[in-house]
């Protein structure tokens, strides 16, 4: 969702490693501190069907082994799913999250501050890269992913106090 004023919605998943480490509140606070509004949230234990819907093209792009590793990781514990709304929410969230590979993420980003696993280490040990967060890559992807994770009834429209500073 994106309107003419630059207000967008994006999907964020706090992956099983973030939930297991008790980082949900700290990560969520960062988004709210940046004036992003939570318009939907729920904790979900992914099953194979949801993993396939979310990562529908991962196998085609990177192969069956990469897909299966990611699907297994995402099904290893609960995921905290949320929809954030705000001014240019998609690129703002991507910037806040940091590089896909935590060892390459800048300090001050979520991955740079809370994770450190490198691609080389993960590959050498046949592990998925535990990078804490999934964030939609562009507005079209965000719309598709939001539809996979949330019904229209689960997404709320409301005014937040922060909106007077962002609109």
DSSP the chain: -B-TTSEEEEEEEE-HHHHHTT-HHHHHHHHHHTT-EEEEEEEE---HHHHHHHTTTHHHHH-HHHHHHHHHHHTSS-EEEEEEEEETHHHHHHHHH--SSGGGSPTTSHHHHH----HHHHHHTT-----SEEE-SSHHHHHHHHHHH--GGGS-----TTHHHH-
pTM greater than the 0.85 cutoff: yes
Q: List all residues 6 or more positions away from 128 whose beta carbon is below 8 Å from its beta carbon.
A: 69, 70, 72, 73, 122
What is the predicted pLDDT for the residue at 164? 73
Interatomic CA distance for residues 128 and 142, integer angstroms: 23
pLDDT tens digits, the chain, 167 residues: what are they?
555 578 999 999 999 999 999 999 999 999 999 999 999 999 999 999 998 898 878 777 766 777 788 889 999 999 999 999 999 999 999 999 999 999 999 999 999 999 988 889 988 887 888 899 999 999 999 999 999 999 999 999 998 877 777 65
What is the predicted pLDDT for the residue at 3? 56
What is the predicted pLDDT for the residue at 122? 84
82-87-93 Cα angle (round to 5): 45
Q: Please state, as a whole number, how many other Cβ atoms lie within 10 Å of the Cβ of residue 35.
A: 17
Q: Are the beta carbons of 42 and 28 closer than 8 angstroms?
A: no
Q: Which domains are assigned to the chain? A: 7-152 (3.30.70.141)
Q: List all residues 6 or more positions away from 15 whose beta carbon is below 8 Å from its beta carbon.
A: 73, 74, 79, 130, 131, 132, 133, 134
Residue 134 annotated to the active site:
yes
Q: Are the beta carbons of 130 and 73 closer than 8 angstroms?
A: yes
Catalytic residue among 134, 136, 145, 146: 134
Residues in the chain: 167
């Amino acid at each position: 969702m994106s309107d003419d004023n630059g207000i967008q919605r994006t999907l964020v998943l706090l992956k099983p490693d973030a939930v297991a480490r008790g980082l949900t509140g700290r990560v969520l606070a960062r988004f709210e501190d940046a004036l992003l509004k939570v318009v939907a949230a729920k904790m979900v234990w992914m099953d194979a069907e949801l993993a396939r819907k979310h990562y529908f093209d991962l196998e085609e792009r990177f192969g069956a082994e990469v897909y299966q590793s990611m699907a297994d990781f995402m099904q290893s514990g609960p995921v905290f799913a949320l929809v954030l709304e705000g001014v240019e929410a998609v690129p703002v969230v991507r910037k806040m999250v940091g590089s896909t590979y935590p060892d390459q993420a800048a300090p001050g980003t979520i991955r740079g501050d809370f994770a450190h696993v490198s691609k080389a280490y993960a590959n050498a040990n046949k592990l998925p890269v535990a990078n804490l967060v999934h964030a939609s890559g562009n507005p079209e992807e965000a719309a598709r992913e939001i539809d996979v994770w949330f019904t229209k009834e689960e997404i709320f429209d409301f005014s937040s106090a922060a909106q007077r500073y962002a609109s």
